[in-house]
Amino acid sequence: MWARQLVWAATRGPYQTVHRPSARLAHGSATGQAPEPEPEPELQSKPELEPWWKAGLRFSCTECGQCCTGAPGVVYFEPAEGAEMAAALDLSLTEFYSAHARLVRGKYSLKETIVEGHGHDCEFLDRTSAPGRALCRVHSARPQQCISWPFWPRVLASKEVWEEEAADCPGIENGLKGIGELHSARTIAEQARLDQIAADNTAPR
């Protein structure tokens, strides 16, 4: 799955808390008298389930551009992110939205360009400046959806899903081989949280 989403969908985060239901016992008494009620067990929450990536994950971007191309997709962004990208390009907001944004189901997304041999590139994907590399022309101001990749809640849902993503992402594939930057569980959880917030804020209603 690319960092450009085919469809934004709210996704449960990697953690969930499990509660045990209370249980009241009501046994009869040998004397025929009502037994003393047993104390109701105190409701307790189990500790948050540990994610499968609790030891961290290795990932380093290889600048392959795979996360920014493919089938038609969307890169939704918030108004503040639009302003940051406009400033990075030295454009007014009006100029930025006119040239680089499109409405998709009532929300603004970056435009795409069809590139032969690749597919629908994010229009800020630069394949010419550095041969053999695919760079982002607004990398310093890119939306949270892009920043969080590949640490999206859905991609972190299981080790199997993570390994499936390796087929399209060399950075993940390298990480499975022990190559690349080691990201701590805390960093991964924070990126997943920020990605979920961005998804909630920009998802079409």
The per-residue pLDDT for range 13-33, each reduced to its tens digit, is 332 222 222 222 233 333 444
- Residue 24 inside a domain? The answer is no
Query: Token pair of 188, please?
Result: 């991964």
Structural domain count, the chain: 2
CA distance 25 to 204: 49
Please give the pLDDT value at position 178: 98
Q: Is residue 205 a part of any domain in this protein?
A: yes
Q: Tell me, what amino acid is at 176? A: L
The domain containing residue 204 runs over which residues? Answer: 148-205
In a domain, 85, yes or no: yes
Q: Are residues 123 and 164 in the same domain?
A: no
Overall average pLDDT of the 152-174 stretch: 97
| Three-class secondary structure of residue 175 per DSSP | helix
Task: For residue range 72-121, list pLDDT tens digits in order.
Answer: 999 999 999 999 999 999 999 999 999 999 999 999 999 999 999 899 99
CB 130 within 8 A of CB 58: no
pTM of the predicted model, to two decimals?
0.74
Strand partners, 45: 19
- The predicted structure's pLDDT at residue 203: 63
What does pLDDT average to over the chain? 82
CA dihedral 163→71→89→149, nearest 10 degrees, is -20
| pLDDT for the residue numbered 125 | 97
- Note whether 148 and 161 are within 8 A (CB): no
Indicate whether 73 belongs to any domain.
yes
With b for 16 or more beta-carbon neighbours within 10 A and e for fewer, the 9-45 pattern comes to eebeebeeeeeeeeeeeeeeeeeeeeeeeeeeeeeee
The last residue of one of the domains, among 139, 170, 188, is: 139
